[in-house]
Structure 1
Amino acid sequence: MSVTSPLLTALTPMLETPDLPGTRDFYTGVLGFTCTADTPEWLCLTLGPAELMFSGLNEHRGFTAPVFSGSLYFRTSDVDNLWVSLRDRVTVCYPIETFDYGMREFAIYDNNGYLLQFGQETE
């Protein structure tokens, strides 16, 4: 049985962090997200159509640090200006570059070590 797309209305990654206040401050103060919910156990952050949730480390899973093998890829309409506004305020994974597959992008790390990529389609 296949699932048809009308059943899904959004995707909100739920990531773990040992530092909820630091994560809130990074995403709101550095990236410009709005914190729409903030509890001692979790928080929700939004910027335009992008939404992320963070929880404290889950004692049932047994991790002592954030664990995620992929990246979060944000599409933007002005990657060059975003790069200029962030490059001196973050830890850079790779600087802005235009790739053969039609994207101009860069990547940074958040305060937890999660990889965040920002890209814009090239003409």
Structure 2
Amino acid sequence: MSLSVVLRCNDLAETKRFYEAVLGFNVSDSANGTLTVQRDGACLIFTAEDLWRAPAGCTGTFYFAVADATGYYQEVAPQASVAWPLEPMSYGGQEFGINDCNGYTLAFRQQV
């Protein structure tokens, strides 16, 4: 079973640049003026439309599994707003978090 999440964004062009240039996701324009970003089986879909009659935002964190958290952290941290640095977690693995250009919190986790 796969999961895709539709999220409101502030600006499609800025979101495209961030996910492509900073995070290295595959980015493509998709149906009805949306933007699809994908990497390693994860998929987020962004729209600038106010489908929910609310500003962009989420009280949760989107977790992505990565093969090499240290390498990916070194790649993206200099260009991103780091929510928490790379660290070992008490429940196993290591992870770090960033805030994307829309204010969403993204975590990247490697199971050890």
On whether the aligned pair clears a TM of 0.5, the verdict is yes
Superposition TM-score, scaled by structure 1 size: 0.84
Correspondence for 2:76 = 86
More helix by share: 2
After the TM superposition, which parts of structure 1 deviate over 3 Å for at least 4 consecutive aligned residues?
A: none
Does the residue aligned with 1:24 lie in a helix, a strand or coil?
Answer: helix
Identity of matched residues, %:
30
Aligned length: 112
Measured after TM superposition, the shift of residue 40 of structure 1 is 6.9
Does the residue aligned with 1:88 lie in a helix, a strand or coil?
Answer: helix
Matched, 1:99 2:93: no
Correspondence for 1:18 = 10
Residue 71 of structure 1 contacts residue 115 of structure 1 at CA under 8 Å; is this kept in 2?
A: yes
Greater relative contact order: 1 or 2 (C-alpha under 8 angstroms, separation 6 or more)?
A: 2
Q: Distance in 1 between matches of 2:39 and 2:86?
A: 21
Q: Distance in 1 between matches of 2:63 and 2:2?
A: 15
The residue type equivalent to 1:54 in the other structure is F
User: Larger C-alpha radius of gyration, 1 or 2?
Assistant: 1
| Alignment deviations for residues 32-86 of structure 1 (CA, whole Å, 9 cap, x no partner) | 111232467311111121111001132x5321x2121101101111000111111
Does the residue aligned with 2:107 lie in a helix, a strand or coil?
Answer: strand
The residue type equivalent to 1:84 in the other structure is Q
Q: Distance in 2 between matches of 1:40 and 1:19?
A: 15
Residue 87 of structure 2 contacts residue 94 of structure 2 at CA under 8 Å; is this kept in 1?
A: yes
Of 89, 111, 114 in structure 1, the residue corresponding to residue 104 of structure 2 is 114
Q: Which runs of 5+ in 2 are unaligned?
A: none
Q: Distance in 2 between matches of 1:116 and 1:37?
A: 21
The residue type equivalent to 2:85 in the other structure is P
Residue 57 of structure 1 contacts residue 66 of structure 1 at CA under 8 Å; is this kept in 2?
A: no
Provide the alpha-carbon RMSD of the alignment: 1.5
